[in-house]
Chain A
Amino acid sequence: QSALTQPASVSGSPGQSITISCTGTSSDVGGYNYVSWYQQHPGKAPKLMIYDVSNRPSGVSNRFSGSKSGNTASLTISGLQAEDEADYYCSSYTSRITLVFGTGTKVTVV
């Protein structure tokens, strides 16, 4: 199972919006709505930010939103803040009853 494809890095200024893409296939992202996004700060465990494509767990800022079109999912961070600087990973359930992660995107707040 190949990893989902994400851009290596995305940057933005405080207050701006950025979008991270996550491209898979019809056997994962395109075939199921079990697409999640995780935020990971250095040396920390990942934190679930979005599940079921577009749902936010309790406590996650509404500045984070998710969507999907075909085989590509997206995470948008609006009103970018310094604390949003981290690595972000998408993931998807697959037709083989496995979980596949994205390649990861480093978000930099410039």
Chain B
Amino acid sequence: QVQLVQSGAEVKKPGASVKVSCKASGYTFTGYYMHWVRQAPGQGLEWMGRINPNSGGTNYAQKFQGRVTMSRDTSITTAYMELSRLTSDDTAVYFCASDIVKLPAANHELDNWGQGSLVTVSP
């Protein structure tokens, strides 16, 4: 069965960077876009961007341009999301999720989700 297993919780200082990993199994990792979504405490879902695991190509939400980097390592079927210059507003649970349709298409409909990784930014 499809599984997306994310890295554990992190506590970071303001101004630091965080890198969250998402290990995929049970399907062809390079066959589907991987998206990243975050959720601040008590708030709604927010799309951060997507990566094409086959080509490495990325598209980021305008809000995160210049601060987010999405990457992947196909040899270990793992996607990464790195967010820099952290502030308290970045305290959130970060999710990876795979697109429902095969590449090259991307419907931006997310059918498999990781368990989430809590990132806390605190002095």
Q: Which A residues are within 8 Å of any B CB, using their own CB?
A: 1, 3, 34, 36, 38, 40, 45-48, 51-52, 57, 89, 91-93, 97-104
Contact = CB atoms under 8 A, between A and B. Distances in A.
Q: Please classify the interface of chain A as helix (H, G, I), strand (E, B), loop, or mixed, using the class held by over half of its residues.
A: strand
A34 B108 contact: yes
Chain B interface size, as a band, is: 20 to 34
28 contacts: A1-B61, A1-B62, A3-B44, A34-B107, A34-B108, A36-B110, A45-B95, A45-B97, A45-B114, A46-B37, A46-B97, A46-B110, A48-B100, A48-B109, A48-B111, A51-B100, A52-B109, A89-B44, A89-B45, A93-B107, A93-B109, A98-B59, A98-B61, A98-B62, A99-B35, A99-B108, A101-B44, A101-B45
Contact of A104 (B35, B44, B100): B44
B44 to A, nearest CB: 4
B35 to A, nearest CB: 7
B78 interface: no
Residue of A45, A89, A92 most packed against chain B (CB within 10 A): A45
